[in-house]
Chain A
Amino acid sequence: MKKKIVSKVFALLLAACTVLSACGNESGNQSVGQTDKSETNDTVQEGEEPYTIVYAFDVWVQQADWDLVEENLSNIVYDKIGAKVKLLPMTGANYQQEVNLMITSGEKLDLVNASARTTFSSDVTSNKLLGLDEETVRKYAPDAMEVIGDYMEATTVDGKIYGFPTIRDMASAYGLILRNDIIEKYGIDADAGLTVEQLDDLFARIKEGEPDKYVTQPQSQGTSILESLFKTYDGLGDTMGVLMDWGQGDLTVQNLFDTEYYEECVRKAREWNEKGYILPDASTNPDTGVAYFKTGKVASTMSLIHPGVPTDSTNMTGIPCSTAIVNPAFGNTQTVGAVIQSIPVSCKNPEKVLEFVNLLYSDAEVYNALVWGIEGTHYQHVKGSEKWITYPDGVTGETSGYTLSATYAFGNRYLSYIWNTDPEDLNEKYEEFNDNAIKSKALGFVFDTTPVKAEAAAVQAVMDEYRLPLENGVIDPDENLPKFRQALKDAGIDTVIAEKQRQLDEWAATK
């Protein structure tokens, strides 16, 4: 009896083990191919079949026709470099996390979009991205290097190349998006730009003349007036220690929040807020920005500005508008690296991927197949124009299966067709905008927080608490600015700044 039970248990355990190990083996080399048809490619042995480049990037809205576009693109790329492409578009909210997990688990992934605005610096220090030497890149992606030129500095750390900034607006200007009817009514010379003094006057007039409208609002929930209008400093990534005056002076890292400039900005924001110019609760209202502008309830939006903004804003809000610049276009590591195409460490064939990247920077056919889709299905050329495109006959914005139009997200936007709501010379405008931008002396410097990460985290927490309310004029600067400054000191901002200065000097010495 006893024996019988023991043997039963044993048999059961054995069975369990076999089942488990069988599952393990079977799915081990087969991955999850059955459920996702497009993934079957991955499991095929390399060498027999062309290499498939898996490309993950973030998008705002998923498209119905990804499969079609992917197939079309893949065929084009295969003809040119003998590799297939698989697209892994993910929406923004969970992109970062999914990519991190995929890289950690070693899932097949060959190319990702990173950003210097978010985690590029820690991506580099934690070895998430592959650092390539210049020789390799020059060999496999010569055109990309050529097109990007000096901007490559933004993604080069300690002599290794960690990615390719896409060519788009490489700098940011700051100013107002204004309704055209407001511009007319108040006689604003939008093209000439506005000064802060002019704004004081203008806001007062709009407040007087438009009782049913708020005068202005920041760009979105969680953005401050400082960041969307007054910005004249190079934040060097995390704003803990900055270079003032667009980084044009010497390379002395300063505490932004201790400067007079900061105090003035904060007081101006407070003044505007108290005069009732700004949408109430702007920093915490989830609809701040486009949603409000669209309803016609605000007269203007403080915003980052580049040549595409006027048409974009008009298209998305249905309200004709123009832009007036307050602070001129300015480029630093973060604006140049807003989108970076990088190869993650888990990539098995970087050379092939480099060839693909090269195509995105040099081959209009590849670029446009990714950005605009398939000719005849998703777009067609406007008659008599090489650049202008529009919807094919019978297709509208609602019925089209591919309206990605993310010209900023891949390769070289100078290769792009132009949607016919934009001026035909939009690319030239972008080029002009980029060429004329002020460039920070520290463009290319990437701060590594690792040596001071406890302090940096603590400082970040303090900034989160005070910055937005102060910079949007929600709380009283007389009372809170001194508190903020003290809290920063207590959290160790000086340690962070000293470390940043050390790294910056080191970086400058190697240049």
Chain B
Amino acid sequence: MKRMKVNKSALVAHIVLICFVLFCTLPTLLLVTSSLSDNDSVFRNGYSFWPKEWSLGAYRYMATQGQTIFRAYGISILTTFIGTISGLMLTAMLGYTLSRNELPGRKIINFLVFFTLLFNGGMVPTYLLYVNTLHVKNTIFALLLPNNILVNGFNVLLVRTYFNNNTPKELIESAMVDGAKEFRIFFSIIMPISKPILATVGLLIGIGYWNDWYNGLLYLTNTKLFSLQNYLNRILLDIQFMTQSMAGSAEAANALGKMPTITVRMAIAVIGILPLMMIFPFFQSYFARGMTVGAVKG
């Protein structure tokens, strides 16, 4: 009887989740198939899930855009790796500190962190700070530091709330009785039992770094440092700009004329996201592990 019940709820879960999966994948599928369509055929026959004429034209066009794309992959992987690890450390340490209720000044710091989510100095002052004072322009730091990807108040508060709710206070107390120092408590007790949130926040920071193109747009003129999304987004924005631009139209159109616009736009999305899709499952084993730890913990 009890087994039946469990199965029923799991079945409902599967059915509903599959609906959500379809909701997510169908548009994505249209995107992938149109990236593989013949450009003119899309104009003639419209977008469809099963194109009348298949073509690799868009990918061929992207390939002619040069070797830069491989270099850009490298830069993306490097910044995502460094950024995620250091960002996660900083975020977790601050979030944990804020979750300790006995800490004097905690409310003030909390407020200061929250404040950063609502107010910002705007693009110009931020640019001045990073370029004139910190001199990050055209360095790898331009991709790592600005724009709160490294430490975001949202993530800090997320971690804080998690630690607040899910860390057994007795665990910390008993460790202290055993003479453990704060650092040790954090690194060898708290971190291991908090994998679900660390994996989640790590994932968010990682996606943040992988998908960021804004920093590159502002702080890089040296194309050698372009990350993948910088590179792809510039193409995308340029297509958009050219199609909407009226001034000097003939020259804009000249550039456009060579490009299979519809399918290239879609191909750009596929090229940018494919690698993320491939590493996702590895990340997720942490979720699964976190789950068992969560179960054991009590």
Contact = CB atoms under 8 A, between A and B. Distances in A.
A348 B12 CA distance: 71
A217 to B, nearest CB: 12
Contact of B124 (A35, A62, A101): A101
Nearest to B136: A32
B138 A287 contact: no
B240 A286 contact: yes
A22 to B, nearest CB: 12
A482 interface: no
B295 interface: no
A309 B238 contact: no
Interface residues of A, number: 64
Contacts of B248: 338-339, 408
A32 B139 contact: yes
Contacts of A318: 257
Contacts of B170: none
Contacts of B250: 306, 308-309, 312-313, 316
Contacts of A339: 248
B160 interface: no
B43 A91 contact: no
B72 to A, nearest CB: 14
A24 B132 CA distance: 9
A92 B138 contact: no
Interface stretch (B83-91, B93-101, B178-186, B219-227): B219-227
Contacts of A94: 217, 234, 237
Contact of A93 (B133, B137, B238): B238
B54 interface: no
A62 B128 CA distance: 26
B218 interface: yes
Contact of B251 (A60, A115, A286): A60
B243 A221 contact: yes
Given A24-B133, A36-B221, A115 B243 contact: no
A464 interface: no
A81 B66 CA distance: 36
A107 interface: yes
B37 to A, nearest CB: 13
B219 to A, nearest CB: 9
B246 A92 contact: no
A94 B218 CA distance: 9
Contacts of B223: 62
Secondary structure call for the B interface: helix
B135 A294 contact: no
Interface string B103-131: 00000000000000000000110011001
A29 to B, nearest CB: 10
A101 to B, nearest CB: 5
Nearest to B253: A290
A297 B43 contact: yes
B30 interface: no
Contact of B261 (A287, A309, A397): A287
A37 B222 CA distance: 10
Contacts of A64: 66
A92 B217 CA distance: 12
B252 interface: yes
Given A64-B66, A101-B124, A312 B133 contact: no
B255 interface: yes
A316 B254 contact: yes
Contact of B135 (A31, A228, A297): A31
Interface in A211-237: 219-223, 227-228
Contact of B245 (A220, A292, A295, A316): A220
Nearest to B221: A88
Nearest to A224: B246
Nearest to A338: B247
A297 B261 CA distance: 15
B199 interface: no
Contacts of B43: 287, 291-292, 295, 297
Contacts of B285: none
Contact of A92 (B64, B133, B245): B245
A385 to B, nearest CB: 23
A338 B255 CA distance: 19
A397 B64 CA distance: 12
Contacts of B173: none
Nearest to A334: B247
A398 interface: yes
Interface string B1-40: 0000000000000000000000000000000000000011
B238 A222 contact: no
B222 A312 contact: no
Contacts of A312: 250-251, 253-254
Contacts of A41: none
Contact of B246 (A227, A291, A397): A227
A429 to B, nearest CB: 14
A288 interface: yes
Contacts of B132: 105-106
A6 to B, nearest CB: 17
Contacts of B139: 32, 35
A480 interface: no
A303 interface: yes
Given A36-B222, A104-B124, A104-B127, A291 B243 contact: yes
A32 B254 CA distance: 35
A91 B238 contact: yes
A92 B253 contact: no
Interface string B176-206: 0000000000000000000000000000000
Interface in A283-313: 286-292, 294-295, 297, 303-304, 306, 308-309, 312-313
B133 A61 contact: no
B129 to A, nearest CB: 10
Contacts of A28: 135
A398 B64 contact: yes
B70 interface: no
A93 B131 contact: no
Interface of B: 39-40, 43-44, 64, 66, 123-124, 127-128, 131-135, 137-139, 217-218, 221-225, 234, 237-238, 240-258, 261-262
7 contacts: A23-B135, A98-B218, A104-B127, A104-B128, A227-B246, A289-B243, A316-B253
Given A60-B238, A101-B127, A295-B40, 20 more contacts: A35-B138, A35-B139, A61-B238, A91-B237, A92-B238, A92-B252, A93-B237, A104-B124, A105-B132, A107-B131, A220-B243, A222-B246, A289-B243, A289-B249, A289-B256, A291-B261, A315-B254, A316-B253, A316-B254, A405-B254
10 A-B pairs with the lowest CB-CB distances in the bound complex, closest first: A316-B257, A27-B135, A93-B237, A312-B250, A93-B241, A295-B43, A60-B255, A290-B253, A61-B255, A32-B138
